[in-house]
Structure 1
C-alpha cells in the first residue's frame, strides 16, 4: 500500500493551503527546492533587530574586536544550526519530533514548550518594536500600529512555509537597499575610512566572550528550532546549505551593517540603542525615503515575526494535538496582547535567558541525534529520558556560572559544550554498565 496520501486539507495543487505536517515528518515528495528553503532562512536574520546587537557589540568592544565577536559567533551558529539542520533534512522531522526522540514522548513537553513559548515572546517583542519604531519615526499611534501589524504578521504566518519563503525573498534584498542608503547618508557627514580606528565606548563593561553570547542569543531559539524550516529540504546537504545562507551570510551582513554605522559615529548612545540605523533614513524631509522606511519596518520586522510565530505555532500544535494554523491565530493574539503590554522593552534580559538556557538544549539534541545518532536511531521509545534533562541542566548551570562568575567566557558556548560532553559521557557510561549486566546474566 502506498504511503503517499492526499486529503481535502492537504492538496497537491498550489491553489489551496497545504499541510504543514505538524505531527509527522515531511514526505519526500513534498520537500522543497534549495532555493525555497534558503529563502526561508536567508530572509530571517537579515533584519533591523539583528543590526542592533551588531552595533552594540562594536560600541562596547571597538570595531575590530566587535567584528571578531560577530564572526566567531556566526561560525559557531553555522556548526550548531547546521548539524541540527542536517538531521532535519535527512529525516523530515520538525523540532518537536526531534525533541520527542531525545527527551521522550512525555519529557519533550518541557523542552518543546519552553522554546515554543520563547519564540512567541520574540513575536511579541518585534511586533511591539514595529509600533514603537514607527511611532518614533513618524508619530503614528503606537498601539494602533501594533494591532494592525500584528494582524498582518499573523495572516502571513497562517499561509505557512510557502509564505515565509516569499517574505524572505523580499525582506533580504530590501534590507540591503536600505542599509546601502543609510551608509551612503552617513558617508556624506562622516569619514568611513576611520571606522577601523574606532575603539568603542564600553570601557571594558562587555567582554569578548559575553559579546559572542549576545550575538548567539539573538537567534539561539529559532536556530535550535531550525528543523521546522529545514525539514522541508530534499536532503541533509541542502539543509546545511540553506542554513549557511543565514549563518554566517545574512546574519553577518545585518550585524556588520549596524557595526559599521556605529563605528562611523553616526548613532548617538550606541551603547544602548546599538546599530539601529532607521533614524538615519527618517531624520530627513525626503518623502520617498520616509515611505521606503515605513515599508522597510513592516516587511523587515514582519519577516522575523512570521518566522518566530511559525516556530511557536508548529510546536504548540504538536503539543496540543492541534493544527498549526489554529495555534497561529491563538498564539498570535496572545503575542499582540503581550506587545501592547510592553514586553518588548525587556530585550537585554531576554537575551541573557536565551544564552544560558537555549544552547545547552540544542547541545543535547546534537549529542543524541548526531554524535550518538546510530544508537538513538535503534533505541526504544521512552516516556522520559532523564539523561537528556541532566545534560541540559548541567549545560545551563555551566552557562549561568560563566555569565555570573567568569564573564570573559561565553555563557552560550560554555553551556553548549558542557551539555554535549555531559550527555555523551553519561550515555556512554550507562551503555557500558547495561552491557556488563547483560553479559553477567548470560
Structure 2
C-alpha cells in the first residue's frame, strides 16, 4: 500500500524514481552498513526464535526467507514513501510516519506505529531477557520489568535523533558476534574442544567468554579503520578468523578463556 500510494502521489514510477531525497547523500558502502546495522542484531539473535522449528533446515529457510522478503519490501516501500513525500528527517532519521501522512496514509501510519513497535519490541524484550538471564541469575520477570523501563527511558531522552549513528555502530560491532558464533560452532567445538553443543534442562555452560568479547570489540574497531571492502563483511571475517585463532591458541596452552557456570532450566532460561 505504501509503494502504491507513493507512486500515486508522485504521478508515475518515472517521477518517483527521478525524485531526489532531502539531505546530504551517502556512499554505497555507508548505505550497506546502515542496512546491515538495522538487521544484524536480529539475525544474530534469530536462534532464540528458530530453535522452536521442526528441523534446522526449516528454521534456516523460514528465518532467512522471512528476513529477506520482509526486509526487502519494507526498505523499498519506506524509501519510496520518503522520496514521494519529501518531508524533512528527524535529526538524521527519515520521518516515516510524517511521510505516510503526507501521501494520505496517516491512519495506517498510526496503526504501524502502535502494532509494529509493539511486536518488534516484544521480541526485543524477550531476546534481551533471555540473554541477561544466562548471565544474571534473577527472575525473568524482574529482568523484563527493568529492561522494559530502561527502554522507555531511552526512548524518552530522544534516541531517535541518533538512530543513524546507532545503526552505524551496530553495523560495525554486531557482525563480529556472528563471526565468533560461526567459528565456535564449525571450528572450535568440533576440532579444538572436540565436543559438540549440549542442550536441555540441567546443561551447564560458561557464563562469560572473555576471548569472544575481546575479539568482537577488536574486530568491530578494526573494521571501522579499514578503508577498503564492505565494513560489516570485514568485521564478520575478522571476528571469525580472530576467534578461531585465539581460542585455538588458548586451548592449546590450557589457558581458560570462558568463566563462570550457568545451568539451563526447563524453560530454556
Q: CA deviation at 1:190?
A: 2.9
Equivalent residues in 2 for 1:231-242, closer than 5 Å: 231-242=51-62
Residues 157-192 of structure 1 show CA distances to partners (whole Å, capped at 9, x for unaligned) of xxxxxxxxxxxxxxxxxxxxxxx1563254244321
Provide the rounded CA distance (Å) in 1 between the counterparts of 2:207 and 2:149.
32
Provide the rounded CA distance (Å) in 1 between the counterparts of 2:240 and 2:59.
22
Residue 148 of structure 2 is aligned to residue 328 of structure 1: no
TM-score by length of 1: 0.48
Bigger helix share: 1
Residue 163 of structure 2 is aligned to residue 356 of structure 1: no
Q: CA deviation at 1:348?
A: 2.0
Residues 382-429 of structure 1 show CA distances to partners (whole Å, capped at 9, x for unaligned) of 676554344324312322213xxx2x6432221111111122234455
Partner of 1:190: 11
Partner of 2:234: 414
Question: Quick one: which of 259, 274, 287 aligns to 2:79?
Answer: 259
Partner of 1:391: 215
User: Secondary structure of the equivalent of 1:328?
Assistant: helix
Gaps of 5+ in 1: 1-179, 435-442
* Structure number with higher relative contact order (C-alpha < 8 Å, ≥ 6 residues apart): 1
Partner of 1:307: 123
Provide the rounded CA distance (Å) in 2 between the counterparts of 1:322 and 1:348.
33
Residues 217-256 of structure 1 show CA distances to partners (whole Å, capped at 9, x for unaligned) of 0122232122211121122111101212332111111011
Tell me: CA distance 1:365–1:400, structure 2 relative to 1, closer, same or farther (3 Å). Answer: same
Q: CA deviation at 1:307?
A: 1.4
Equivalent residues in 2 for 1:199-278, closer than 5 Å: 205-263=25-83, 265-269=84-88, 272-274=92-94, 276-278=95-97
Tell me: CA distance 1:367–1:349, structure 2 relative to 1, closer, same or farther (3 Å). Answer: same
Equivalent residues in 2 for 1:9-408, closer than 5 Å: 180-181=1-2, 183-184=4-5, 186-197=7-18, 205-263=25-83, 265-269=84-88, 272-274=92-94, 276-283=95-102, 290-375=106-191, 376=193, 378=195, 385-402=209-226, 406=227
Could you tell me whether the CA contact under 8 Å between 1:363 and 1:417 is conserved in 2?
Answer: yes
Tell me: CA distance 1:410–1:199, structure 2 relative to 1, closer, same or farther (3 Å). Answer: farther
Tell me: CA distance 1:248–1:377, structure 2 relative to 1, closer, same or farther (3 Å). Answer: farther
Could you tell me whether the CA contact under 8 Å between 1:183 and 1:261 is conserved in 2?
Answer: no
Q: CA deviation at 1:318?
A: 2.7
Provide the rounded CA distance (Å) in 1 between the counterparts of 2:10 and 2:171.
37
User: Secondary structure of the equivalent of 2:134?
Assistant: helix
Gaps of 5+ in 2: 198-204, 255-269
Could you tell me whether the CA contact under 8 Å between 2:189 and 2:196 is conserved in 1?
Answer: no
Tell me: CA distance 1:385–1:296, structure 2 relative to 1, closer, same or farther (3 Å). Answer: closer
